């Protein structure tokens, strides 16, 4: 009897707790400049989460640390200090730098050198890098000379030190933003934030659902020079997205288009018809690196590589004045094969 009387009271209390929870939860956001671009964080603020100002301070502390360690645009960064060393030298570097070198070496091994963290001198030669004077087409002799000091095989991690046996220079631009997203997402989760969308310089990761139970939805951009149009809408939960494309990063000389994406094997810009490729992976660092790998490999080799390794990838290929899109089976399993979801 007493049990029956208690039941409605418990139900009412649960209902009150649920409605209270619904009113408490809302999407908060903060953003700012970073890495020569911007970052933004959107998250569902629940009862146990750290307050917004503290989350923003923590996020910006991570970004400042990454900039101080990895930026090739400031002479006092850890990696530029290492880059200034001559051949056959070692230097103690923070854990984050070692972690990225090892991640880059793994991606390089897996792709037979399609990604190479040491191509900064080649980027500078073509005018694309931090020390590049102006965009130019170097001679075959100049490329051959610079390539002597390019190659991840000249780089090794030895305990807490990073060592080089040639005067290589390291550039983390192909994976640094993805690494930053993973670091910020981990900090949010450690702060009791379990639903979020983190975006840094275009690399992003989302987890959980919004207060109305809607998923985080993001647009894959169509590869147009002059406008931003969504080509595909996808829903994310626990996944990261990275897109690489040459449709805005190129220069023209004598009617020929030169992409800012270099093939480390040739030391020259890619010449195939892949306009953009998007990779989805649980790791933003890996999605970031793989999108570069597939962009270098091109439409045929890239599609075969992604299919063989079960990579969720969406390719946009230039065919004359038109664009054709192709996706891997892993991508279609996640998002379906339709235009929108």
- Contact in structure between 171 and 116 (CB atoms under 8 Å): no
**Which candidate, 194, 229, 202, places its Cα nearest to that of 292?**
202
User: Is pLDDT at 260 greater than 70 in this prediction?
Assistant: yes
Q: Using 50, 70 and 90 to split pLDDT, how confident is the model at 226?
A: low
3-state secondary structure of 62: helix
User: Is pLDDT at 3 greater than 70 in this prediction?
Assistant: no
Assign domain 215-341 to a CATH class.
alpha beta
CATH for the 79-164 domain, from 3.30.390.10, 3.40.50.920, 1.10.3980.10, 1.10.1510.10 = 1.10.3980.10
Quick one: pLDDT at residue 21? 47
Domain ranges of the chain: 25-72+172-207, 79-164, 215-341
Residues in the chain: 341
Quick one: pLDDT at residue 200? 96
Quick one: pLDDT at residue 95? 97
Residue 216's contacts (CB-CB under 8 Å, 6 or more residues apart) are: 42, 197, 206, 207, 208, 209, 210, 235, 236, 237
Q: Is the pTM of this model over 0.75?
A: yes
Quick one: pLDDT at residue 77? 96
Quick one: pLDDT at residue 320? 86
| Average of per-residue pLDDT values in the chain | 88
Quick one: pLDDT at residue 49? 64
User: Is pLDDT at 19 greater than 60 in this prediction?
Assistant: no
Task: Report which listed range, 243-257, 280-294, 316-330, is most confident.
Answer: 280-294
Query: Of 56-60, 98-102, 112-116, 243-247, which gets the smallest average pLDDT?
Result: 243-247
Report d(CA 104, CA 114) in Å as an integer.
11
Q: Using 50, 70 and 90 to split pLDDT, how confident is the model at 132?
A: low
3-state secondary structure of 30: strand
Rg (CA), the chain: 23
Instruction: Return the percentage of the chain with pLDDT > 90, whole number.
Output: 72
């Amino acid at each position: 009897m007493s049990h029956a009387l208690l039941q409605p009271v418990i139900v009412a209390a649960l209902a009150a707790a649920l409605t209270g929870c619904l009113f408490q939860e809302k999407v908060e956001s903060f953003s700012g400049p970073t890495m020569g671009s911007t970052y933004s964080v959107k998250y569902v603020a629940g009862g146990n989460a750290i307050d917004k100002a503290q989350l923003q301070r923590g996020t910006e502390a991570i970004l400042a640390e990454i900039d101080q360690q990895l930026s090739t645009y400031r002479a006092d960064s850890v990696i530029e200090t290492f880059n200034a060393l001559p051949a056959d030298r070692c230097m103690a570097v923070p854990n984050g730098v070692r972690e990225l070198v090892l991640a880059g070496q793994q991606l390089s091994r897996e792709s037979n050198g399609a990604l190479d963290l040491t191509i900064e001198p080649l980027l500078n030669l073509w005018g694309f890098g931090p020390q590049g004077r102006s965009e130019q087409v170097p001679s075959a002799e100049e490329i051959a000379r610079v390539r002597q000091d390019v190659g991840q095989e000249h780089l090794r991690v030895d305990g807490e030190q990073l060592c080089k046996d040639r005067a290589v220079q390291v550039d983390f631009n192909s994976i640094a933003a993805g690494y930053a997203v993973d670091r910020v997402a981990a900090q949010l989760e450690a702060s009791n934030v379990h639903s979020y969308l983190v975006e840094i310089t275009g690399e992003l990761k989302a987890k959980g659902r919004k207060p109305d139970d809607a998923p985080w939805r993001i647009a894959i951009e169509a590869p147009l020079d002059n406008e931003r149009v969504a080509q595909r809408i996808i829903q994310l939960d626990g996944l990261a997205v990275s897109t690489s494309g040459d449709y805005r990063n190129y220069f023209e000389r004598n009617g020929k288009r030169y992409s800012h994406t270099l093939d480390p094997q040739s030391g020259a810009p890619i010449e195939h018809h892949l306009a953009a490729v998007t990779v989805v992976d649980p790791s933003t660092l890996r999605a970031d690196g793989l999108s570069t790998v597939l962009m270098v490999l091109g439409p045929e080799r890239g599609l075969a590589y992604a299919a063989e390794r079960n990579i969720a990838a969406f390719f946009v290929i230039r065919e004359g004045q038109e664009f054709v899109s192709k996706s891997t089976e892993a991508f279609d399993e996640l998002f379906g094969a339709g235009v929108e979801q």
